């Protein structure tokens, strides 16, 4: 056989090509041929690592999900207010990394509306994110329904991401809105 190859690494490379196509030309431009071309490999290689297109897309979805999760996990701060602020801002297309991931997320989110296999992990992952945000809120402002505020904040940031991607809101205003919203939540009760 040819040199033993890092199977997961190869899949990851292809997965990133999927995300790049997704971000620049949308979901309907994602074909085996386009992905192969974007990755700079042959179509046969793509097929070798993914049995079907659906499997490839699902892998790419898990990949950016993990990536966003990792970025969230990398956020730290001793001050819960600062922590929460950084966490929410990390969900917006502000940094270079986030700017390249957000359009991919948006495409997958929209597809999740009509594809239960994408919606399921999103539904399952949401509660723990809500719980974590709620715990941060409680640390700053004990009392009040922290979970409710957490859900509202996350929905707000989600919508803000979409509006930024469409160009309705620029980065400066977005940060301002997050800060204002955060202040309101954290100084209530």
Partner DNA sequence: TGTTTTGCAATGCGATCGCATCGTAAAACA
Partner DNA sequence: TGTTTTACGATGCGATCGCATTGCAAAACA
Binding site for a copy of itself (CB under 8 A): 23-28, 103, 106-107, 109-115, 119, 122-123, 126, 145, 148-149, 151-152, 154-163, 165-169, 173, 176-177, 180-181, 184-185, 188
Distances (CA, A) of 14 to 47, 115, 132: 10, 22, 32
CB atoms within 10 A of CB 42: 12
Least distance to DNA, CB of residue 77, Å? 42
Partner whose footprint covers residue 1, from a copy of itself, DNA, none (CB < 5 to 8 Å by kind): DNA
For a copy of itself, give the closer residue by CB, 6 or 124.
124
Under a CB-based contact definition with an 8 Å cutoff, are residues 84 and 137 in contact? yes
- For a copy of itself, give the closer residue by CB, 44 or 143: 143
Q: Choose the one of a copy of itself, DNA, none that binds residue 5, judging by a C-beta under 5 to 8 angstroms depending on kind.
A: DNA
Shortest distance in whole angstroms from residue 57 CB to DNA: 9
Spatial CB neighbours of 88, under 8 Å, sequence gap ≥ 6: 153, 157, 178, 182
The rounded distance, in Å, linking the Cα atoms of 53 and 90 is: 30
Residue 3, binding choice from a copy of itself, DNA, none, Cβ under 5 to 8 Å by partner class: DNA
> Stretches 25-33, 108-116, 134-142, 176-184: which one binds DNA (CB under 7 A)?
25-33
Nearer to a copy of itself, 94 or 107 (CB): 107
Question: Rounded to the nearest whole angstrom, what is the least distance from the CB of residue 69 to a copy of itself in the complex?
Answer: 16
User: Which range, of 43-51, 95-103, 143-151, 178-186, touches DNA by CB under 7 A?
Assistant: 43-51
């Amino acid at each position: 056989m040819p040199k033993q190859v890092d199977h997961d690494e190869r899949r990851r490379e292809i997965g990133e090509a999927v995300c790049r196509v997704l971000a620049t030309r949308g979901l309907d431009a994602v074909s085996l041929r386009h992905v192969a071309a974007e990755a700079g490999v042959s179509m046969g290689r793509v097929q070798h690592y993914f049995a079907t297109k659906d499997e490839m897309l699902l892998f790419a979805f898990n990949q950016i999900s993990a990536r966003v999760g990792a970025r969230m996990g990398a956020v730290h701060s001793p001050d819960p207010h600062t922590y929460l602020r950084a966490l929410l801002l990390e969900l917006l297309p502000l940094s270079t990394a986030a700017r390249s991931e957000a359009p991919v997320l948006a495409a997958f989110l929209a597809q999740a509306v009509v594809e239960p296999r994408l919606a399921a992990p999103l539904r399952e992952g949401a509660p723990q994110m809500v719980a974590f945000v709620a715990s941060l809120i409680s640390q700053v402002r004990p009392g009040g329904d922290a979970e409710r505020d957490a859900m509202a904040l996350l929905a707000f940031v989600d919508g803000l991401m979409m509006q930024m991607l469409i160009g309705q809101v620029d980065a400066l205003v977005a940060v301002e809105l997050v800060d204002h919203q955060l202040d309101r939540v954290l100084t209530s009760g």
